[in-house]
């Protein structure tokens, strides 16, 4: 019994010491600095009550989306979020729309991007 408890504690310690959570701001800055800019949609194109700016980058053959989301419908203040591992087809469908997609960028953002929020803190 003592051996089992020690083994569990050992694996818990190893798991804790090797799992690293990246800071969202550090990840965002890294992607902006090192990534390849794929495209940007600004507020005047998005015409959204909550999306202010959406930018896609590619790094290491993966697509990252940085979205500036308004704090409320009437505000110019935004919060910035990063989304990781977006399939290329999802970015394209968000940017241009696909057959049967809604015209609204907000609805397409929910359909193609929002489920890929990065696991960062």
pTM: 0.80
Contact between 77 and 71 under an 8 Å Cβ cutoff? The reply is yes
**Binned average pLDDT, 10 residues per bin, the chain of 121 residues:** 47 46 93 97 93 97 96 89 96 91 91 95 89
Q: Phi-psi category of 53—alpha, beta or left, where left has phi over 0 and alpha has psi -120 to 50?
A: beta
Give, in order, the Cα–Cα distances in Å from 82 to each of 11, 70, 86, 111. Answer: 31, 14, 11, 16
Please report, for residues 13, 19, 76, the alpha-carbon distance to residue 9 in angstroms, rounded to integers and kept in the order given: 6, 15, 49
Distance of alpha carbon 84 from alpha carbon 81, whole angstroms = 10
Residue-level pLDDT at 22: 86
Are 77 and 23 a contacting pair, CB within 8 Å?
no
pLDDT confidence of residue 14? 41
CA distance 79 to 86: 20
**What pLDDT is attached to residue 43?**
92
């Amino acid at each position: 019994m003592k051996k089992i408890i020690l083994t569990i504690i050992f694996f818990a310690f190893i798991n804790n010491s090797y799992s690293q959570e990246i800071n969202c701001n550090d990840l965002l800055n890294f992607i902006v600095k090192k990534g390849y800019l794929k495209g940007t949609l600004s507020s005047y194109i998005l015409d959204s009550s909550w999306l202010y700016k959406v930018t896609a980058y590619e790094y290491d053959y993966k697509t990252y989306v940085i979205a500036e989301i308004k704090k409320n419908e009437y505000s110019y203040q935004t919060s910035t979020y990063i989304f990781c591992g977006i399939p290329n087809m999802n970015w394209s469908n968000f940017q241009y729309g696909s057959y049967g997609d809604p015209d609204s960028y907000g609805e397409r953002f929910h359909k193609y991007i929002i489920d890929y929020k990065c696991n960062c803190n």
